[in-house]
Chain A
Amino acid sequence: MLLILEVIGLVALGVYEFWQVDWRGMELGHLSQRMVEALVYALFVPSAILTLMSALSFIFLRRRGWLGAAIAQGVSLAVCLWLYTLFQPGYVYPIMAYCILMIFYLNSQDVRVVFHPRRGEAKQKLGGVV
């Protein structure tokens, strides 16, 4: 549900960004800051698709669903941070905030235990010299 909400948010934010730009006045040599910000928003498309697919996998409690969702959050956050270092578009902040919450949620004990049950593992340590 949270993942689907995220996809809806990303799409809505994207539509809003494109809506705000006056594309008729676009010149190929001189793109305005606003246009560049709207264009680079396309970088969120892969992670939005991955998020949507993960949301569907989540319904069936598939381990792959968790991994997909986690990768999607990581990619979104990495893109946000990269864009932040370049020209700080306003839309990165809500995406960042949502991704942070999602990352902590996905990594919480309860969620991880469902998708990654514990495996016994015993390695021995050298108690000293032999």
Chain B
Amino acid sequence: MTAGVETATALLRRFEPVLRSTKGDKFYPMDVEPYVQACSLWVQRPGQEAVCVVRGDKLTLDKLAQQPLDEAGAVHFLKFTDEDDIGPDSRGRRLRRFQRSAKNRKESREAFRAGRGRLARVGYVSRFVDALYSITLLARGRVPGESAAAASVAYERIMAENEHYRYHGRVVRQDGWIVLQYWLFYPFNDWRSGFFGANDHEADWEKVFVYLSETEAGEVSPEWVAYAAHNYTGDNLRRRWDDPEVEKVGEHPVVYVGAGSHASYYSSGEYLTELNLPLPSPLARVADAVRSFWKTRLGQYVRDGDEDEEPGYFYIPFVDYARGDGLSVGEGGDRAWDEPRLITDPPPDWVSGYRGLWGLYARDPFEGEDAPAGPMYNRDKSINRAWYDPVGWAGLDKVPPPTETLEAVLEEREDIASRCTALRTEIEEKSWQLKKLGAEVASMRGRSHLDAPYEEGTKRIAELSGELDRLRARLATDETVSESLEEYAARLRAGEHDPARAHISRAHTPASEDELRVSRVAEAWAAVSVSLMLISFVGIWMFEREHLISMLVFSIALFAFVEAGFRGRLVNLVSSANIGLAVVATLVIVYEFFWQLVVAIVLIVGLYVLWDNLRELRR
């Protein structure tokens, strides 16, 4: 259910976020209408070339929803970048394109400095995988290199005609919450081309949700906020309104926007984001089994954080720069928000009727370079959870609004109390039944003609006893939970709250000052090390074939040692190298002394059994 238009707009404006971008960012939240008018609509049908169905100067928000040539497997998409800018080559166009790209790069360089390179923050394997990932971009579908520059020009053209900063607002009631949805539309995501990130794509939909509770008198108060970051969902996304991490200007939450990616963060800083490339499942299962054996059976050390993290062995690092030193939009910022475009209920056609992509369809199998779908849909045309279940999207579906918490606690306690009463009655009945059964079995003991019913009775006693035990355990647990609920209700009545961050298992934290403080040498090493290692391998292969193995081992050890020194991972390196050496040495010993070891093991087992038996005899 959506609130009335005036109330909805008033609520949205009251809590609208303040966006703080990073210096060097070129795109800001804009209205969809001028964007769509600057686009052409295309359709890509399976096995065919993409066809333009509505030309750029003819497209409007109303026409967008009509989607001609829709059929199974067809993908509709918009093209924002001007055909003249990236169309078929001519000398003039090539020159213009080159000049624009060069100008764009120069402006970016002047405005944005990456600081400590992302590669200096991660290990060798990750750097190597990153190099492979970059190479795959040549083979994968991707947004053309000039698109960012062309999009920047098109965006500047729109802003020159009518400079505006607008969000698309929606107000929804769900499960006792009022959800204010701020849908932010950016014309281009230039994370890869502008800020060394994972991808580029035309159009970018981001979202910030504010969750309000409402009293019976109709007063609303903000309780939670949730910022979208890299398709994350659940508890870790949301923060309580009184969490010190949520910076506010009056009643407006502050959002630090990732440069190029437009991901939203609570604190300013540089965030290391990792793309996890999982091992194939059979290999992953083997690796997990070895890891578990290593830790639990051998009692060996496992690296920090490994237990909580999802298993992964290859990561590609990316840094999301959310420094907050660029343009600020919203209350107290450099620019004010324009009147929001309201998404009412039922939603307008451009939201519900257009299920295509909002920018170029690059046909990237990993989808990272394809434009996103609109606020209501996913790329596969299914409905977006943030749209139909904004409360569950942020993991708030299990949290009652403050006005309902006490009621929920008391009702749950009553339910448990009645369950306990039923359990006590059942336990009493079963207990009496068990006693009767015990008496019956005792009466049959020692009477050979009653062996069969005796056996059956004994079996029934064991079953009933087990069942009774389970019921008593459940009753004990329920009684403890009931007491806990009573205490919780008392705390709530006294006005106490849960800790603000109790629900967060893994918070996104920016890189610390220590992590950012690194010498130029370390950064240079990170940039050249992978190439240098590969070149040295080739050199060894060409000039030191006689000592191939030893030279390879020596060079790898040298690179690893320097690398570990720079990254402060000397302990891990020594530990890993030692384990490798220990495994090899164990194999050597087993190979050299196999039968002696077998004899020794048998002897040890024999002596242990003898010692154990003698000890028993002495007692």
B80 at the interface (CB under 8 A from A): no
Cα A129 to Cα B509 with chains together (Å)? 20
Q: How distant is the Cα of A59 from the Cα of B434 in the complex, in angstroms? A: 62
Q: Is A24 an interface residue (CB 8 A)?
A: no
A127 and B585 in contact, given A74-B577, A109-B299 (Cβ under 8 angstroms): no
**CB neighbors of A among B409-467 (8 A):** none
Contacts of A130 in B (CB 8 A): 189, 191, 198-199, 204, 230-231, 261-263, 368
- Contacting pair A67 B570 (CB below 8 A): yes
- Tell me if B366 and A129 are in contact (CB < 8 A): yes
* A30 at the binding interface (Cβ < 8 Å): no
Q: Which of A73, A93, A109, A126 contacts B301 (CB 8 A)?
A: A109
A15 at interface (Cβ–Cβ under 8 A)? Answer: no
- 5 A-B pairs with CB atoms under 8 Å apart are A100-B585, A103-B579, A124-B508, A126-B231, A127-B230
Structural contact, B581 and A103, CB atoms closer than 8 A? yes
Name the interface residues of B156-183: CB closer than 8 Å to any CB of A: none
Contact with B along A108-130 (1 / 0, CB 8 A): 11111100101111111111111
Interface of A is mostly: helix
Expressed in whole angstroms, the Cα–Cα distance for A109 and B582 within the complex equals 17
Q: Are B231 and A107 in contact (CB under 8 A)?
A: no
Q: Which residues of A contact B (CB under 8 A)?
A: 66-67, 70-71, 73-74, 77-78, 80-81, 84, 93, 96-97, 99-100, 103-104, 106-113, 116, 118-130
CB distance from A43 to the nearest CB of B (A): 15
| A82–chain B nearest beta-carbon distance, Å | 9
Q: Which residues of B contact A109 (CB under 8 A)?
A: 295, 299-302
**B305: Cβ under 8 A from any A Cβ:** yes
Contact residues in B for A84 (Cβ distance below 8 Å): 588
Name 20 extra pairs, CB < 8 A, besides A74-B577, A107-B300: A77-B581, A81-B581, A96-B588, A96-B589, A99-B582, A103-B578, A103-B579, A111-B301, A121-B305, A122-B507, A122-B508, A124-B232, A124-B271, A125-B276, A126-B198, A126-B273, A128-B231, A129-B370, A130-B199, A130-B261
Produce 1/0 per residue, B586-616, CB < 8 A to A. 1011001100000000000000000000000
Q: From B506, which residue of chain A is reached at the shortest CB distance?
A: A122
Interface residues on B, range: 35 or more
**Distance from A88 Cβ to chain B, minimum over Cβ atoms (Å):** 8
Known: A93-B592, A109-B301, A112-B301. A67 touches B275 (CB 8 A): no
Contact A74 B578 (CB under 8 A): yes
Q: Interface 1/0s, chain B 385-402, versus A by CB < 8 A?
A: 000000000000000000
B585 touches A99 (CB 8 A): yes
State in angstroms the CA–CA spacing of A45 and B506 once bound together: 48
Q: How far is the CB of B368 from chain A (nearest CB, A)?
A: 4
The distance from the CB of A37 to the nearest CB of chain B, in whole angstroms, is 16
A126 and B574 contact, CB distance less than 8 A: no
Residue of A nearest to B206 (CB): A130
- How far, in angstroms, from A23 to B341 measured CA to CA in the complex? 96
Partner of B300, one of A71, A104, A120: A104
A100's partner among B262, B272, B370, B586 (CB-CB below 8 A) is: B586
Cα–Cα, bound, A66→B370 (Å): 51
Contact B299 A119 (CB under 8 A): no
A67 touches B571 (CB 8 A): yes
Q: Is the CB of A108 within 8 A of B299?
A: yes
Task: Given the known inter-chain contacts A103-B579, A124-B274, please indicate yes or no for A129 contacting B589, CB distance below 8 A.
Answer: no
